[in-house]
Structures are given as C-alpha cells and as structure tokens.
Amino acid sequence: MKKTVSRAALVGVALCLFFIIFQISVSSTSRFLKNATNSAKPTQEEVTRKLKVISQPNSHPPKSLRLPVESPIICDRTDIRYDLCSINGPTVLDPSKSTFFTIGSAQHSITEKVQPYPRKFEKFIMPRIKNLTLTSGPQMPPCKVPRNVPALVFSVGGYTGNFFHDFNDGFIPLFITVHTIFPDQDFVIVVSEAPNWWPSKYADLLTVFTKHPIIVLKNDTPTHCFPSAKIGLISHGFMTINQTLLPNSKTLLDFRMLLDKAYTPQAQPKVLTSKHTPRPKLVLASRKEAKGRSILNQEQVVRLIKKVGFDVVVFKPKNKTPLNESYALLNSSHAMVGVHGAALTHSMFLRPGAVLVQVVPIGVEWAAYAFFGRVAKGLNLQYSEYKIGVEESSLVDKYGKGSLLVKDPFALQKTGWDPEIMDIYLKEQNVKLDLIRFKACLKEAYIKAKRFMEANG
C-alpha cells in the first residue's frame, strides 16, 4: 500500500512540475514575441552585421538540394536572400492561376506560396513580387502543352529595368542556379512576371541558357506539363559567384565567357593597327541626363582625359541601346571611368586585364565596392576608386560643409539604408571633380591601360 501511494505522489509531483515549466515557457515565448514585434531600431553594430551577412557569399549549398526527396514539394527558406522550392515529380502549370499542380496524397495535401525573386531580405520590394502557388493533391488539370524537360521558374519583377538589377537580381543568380541544379541538363525557363520588353532585349543572352522559348505567365494561357520544376533563383550575394558552392567551380570569368557567346559568337579582340602610335581607348560612362551623380564639369574632364593620352568615347546607355552594341564598344576598349551607378554594370563587358576607375561620391562607399569593386576583382580588371572630397560634392552647396549629411554619412546610415537619406546621396548629389587630383588618378590608369593595349591589342 505504501508503495502504491508513493508512486501516485510521484506522478502528481511530475505533473505539477510539467505545468509550471509549461507556464514559464509560454510566458517567455510571449515576452520574446512581444519584444520582437516592438523592437527598437537596430544599432549601428546590428546594421553593419546585417549588411555584412547580405553582402557575403553563402557558406553552404541550399538545404533542399542536400535533403533526400521525401515529398512531392519541398521548399528551403533558410537563406536570407532567396527561397528555393522543388516539385519532385510530374507537374502541371496553369498560367491563369499562377499555380503548379502535382500528384500527392488526398490525406496529406501540400500547398506552398513562394516569391521567386532573390531579394527576400528587402521589405520594400518583396510585397510587389507576385506569389506562385505550388499544390499537391489527388488530381491535376489536363495538360495542353507537354514538355519533356524540367522547368526553372523565377520572377523578373522588382527592380528589373535598372541595368544593375537586371544582372544582380537576374542573370547572375540565373547562372548560379543553372550550374547548381542543371549543370548538364536541359530545361525550360518560366518567368512568373516580366516587363513586355524584357524577353526581346535579353533574347541573345537567354538563348545561351536554353534553346527552348521562354514562357511568360502573363502572356500564356494553356496549361504546360513538366517532369519536375525548380522555383526560385540562388544568389551568392551582390554581384558574386562563389565557385566553392558550384559543382563545376564556375566563376565570374565563366559568366563573362557566356556574355562573349551571347553577343559576339565569333568575335576576337581586334588588334589596333596604325601608322601613328595608338592611344588606349577609354569609355566615360556619362550620367549627364540622369537624376543625380552626374559630372558637372564633364567637358573639362573629357579634355583632361584626352590630354593624359586617351582616346575618349562618351557612353550614354539607354534602355533601348542594343546590348551587342554596348558589348562591342566595351570589349574593344582598354579603360572605363564612371561615377557609381547602374551604367558601371557594363564593366562586365571589358576584357580581363582592362582598367576600371569608379568615381565614388560621398555616402556610397560601401555600395561602390559591394556592387562594382567585387565584379572588377572577379573579372581580373585593374580596378581603382577615386573617392571624391567633400568639396567635390554638390551637397556642400545645398546642406553646408558642417552638415552631418556631408561630414559623417555613416552616422545617418547606421539604422540601414533609409530611402529618404539614400535618395539624397543617390539622386540629389552631383560631383565636380578636382581636375588636379583626378589627373593623378588618370595618369595611373593610363599607364595600366597602355600596357594592357600593348599586350592585348
């Protein structure tokens, strides 16, 4: 009898302890969620750490590519930049519903929503990206257009139309994804949303990725069926390809070879021949008609560049500028100079070993290297930065030399890239280059460009 009572007492004590622990756990979780919801603005250290995480390459392949296939639909949402979903079996796409259907258990149906755009960390743009629905069930819609190769699905919404973002958020992640998932396999590109001009502008480049016509959901009505599908694009960071994460160790140089194939299928760098001593050709990316970051004394700068010894081509890329023309210009040049901006994305068209000088306005130092310095390094360009002095910025005239905007930009950016603050640096700021100081920079660039020209034509 004593033994029975003892056991009952122990069970009672155990239940009490469990209830107490459960209450503490619920209370702690509630406080955590409340604090997370009402958290204060991040500190400077937190923002710096977040920017570092976003800008650094991944340290592992996507989890969904390492897991055994146990479900008709698997989504990996662990990366800060992107979500990647897999449909592991026959699937039917209904463009009118932006939905992929696949066969699954009626008792354990699956539905996933995914935005296939690799800027998941950015709260401003992601609400504008359309969701795709992936669902499994006992039945699928009838197939109107059969396909015998997998689908690779992504969005070309968001910032598309800005040349930098077309590559940073589009073609470089596409290159990474193809060489991660389909290194030796054919596939069909399905675009969930895209501007009307996008398929034609990038037709030459898209045909290098796949021989199949691009499917754009908003322009399509019949159902398509595929043996499987991947939804999303893998990003390694801003303008970055981490070769250690790819099974075939591809790099930015391999990406540039793809550009070669797209825009100059049989092109070779032309050797300059002249009775006179040839001058290296420099492309000056002009922002004269852009909003912000234009060179106010551009005519004087052009004369200075010529005086130093370059032949100068003033490059004013437009949205309708054919990319094969831009490629031909940069691929035959020896140097490029420009103020930080999307036009510097054309530096990918320079031959390895050419010279790139980025003029860096105040307040954009971090972005200058993350967006274009990194590309230059990856393409083996001879890269340098001309960081303007305070007196070379038009912000001095507007806000005064003692303004925090001018003397300590990072203090205003410590809680992140606030749109109102960044608009000041990116849209209100122009530069008037100090010709004496800039001349020293150009002389160094000339020596490098001359050597490159003599060695490579």
For residue range 276-289, what is the model confidence (pLDDT) as tens digits? 668 999 999 999 88
> What pLDDT score does 60 carry?
57
Higher-confidence residue of 383 and 49: namely: 383
- Is the pLDDT reported for residue 219 higher than 50? yes
Average the pLDDT over 369-391 and give the result.
Answer: 96
Percent of the chain with pLDDT over 70: 81
Average the pLDDT over 292-308 and give the result.
Answer: 97
Beta carbons within 10 angstroms of residue 220's beta carbon: 16
In sign, the C-alpha dihedral spanning 147, 249, 164, 129 is: positive
**Cα angle, residue 96 at apex, residues 95 and 99 outer, rounded to 5°:** 60
Place of tokens 């662990």: 78
> What pLDDT score does 290 carry?
82
Taking phi over 0 as left and psi of -120 to 50 as alpha, with beta for the rest, 292 belongs to: left
> What pLDDT score does 168 carry?
97
> What pLDDT score does 279 carry?
96
> What pLDDT score does 24 carry?
37
Percent of the chain with pLDDT over 90: 70
Give the pLDDT band of residue 57 (cuts 50, 70, 90). low
- Is the pLDDT reported for residue 107 higher than 50? yes
> What pLDDT score does 2 carry?
41
- For the stretch 311-357, pLDDT in tens is 999 999 888 889 999 999 999 999 999 999 999 999 999 999 999 99
> What pLDDT score does 274 carry?
43
Higher-confidence residue of 91 and 406: namely: 91
Nearest Cα to 267, choosing from 327, 355, 346?
A: 327
> What pLDDT score does 64 carry?
61
Give the pLDDT band of residue 146 (cuts 50, 70, 90). very high
- Is the pLDDT reported for residue 268 higher than 60? no
Pairing, β 84-87 against β 110-114? unpaired
Give the pLDDT band of residue 69 (cuts 50, 70, 90). low
> What pLDDT score does 184 carry?
87
**Cα angle, residue 416 at apex, residues 412 and 420 outer, rounded to 5°:** 65
- Per DSSP, the three-state class of 355 is strand
- Average predicted confidence (pLDDT) for the chain: 86
- Is the pLDDT reported for residue 50 higher than 60? no
Most confident of 14-18, 42-46, 186-190, 418-422: 186-190
- Is the pLDDT reported for residue 452 higher than 90? yes
> What pLDDT score does 16 carry?
46
Pairing, β 229-231 against β 151-154? parallel
- For the stretch 151-177, pLDDT in tens is 999 999 999 999 999 999 999 999 999
Give the pLDDT band of residue 67 (cuts 50, 70, 90). low
Higher-confidence residue of 98 and 290: namely: 98
- For the stretch 11-48, pLDDT in tens is 454 444 444 433 433 333 333 333 333 334 444 444 44
Average the pLDDT over 221-248 and give the result.
Answer: 95
Check if the beta carbon of residue 116 is closer than 8 Å to that of residue 231. yes
CB burial class (10 A; 0-12, 13-18, 19+) of residue 335? Answer: buried
Question: Alpha carbon of 455 to those of 230, 270, 451: distances in Å?
Answer: 44, 12, 6
Higher-confidence residue of 163 and 421: namely: 163
> What pLDDT score does 19 carry?
41
> What pLDDT score does 40 carry?
41
> Can you give the pTM of this predicted structure?
0.84
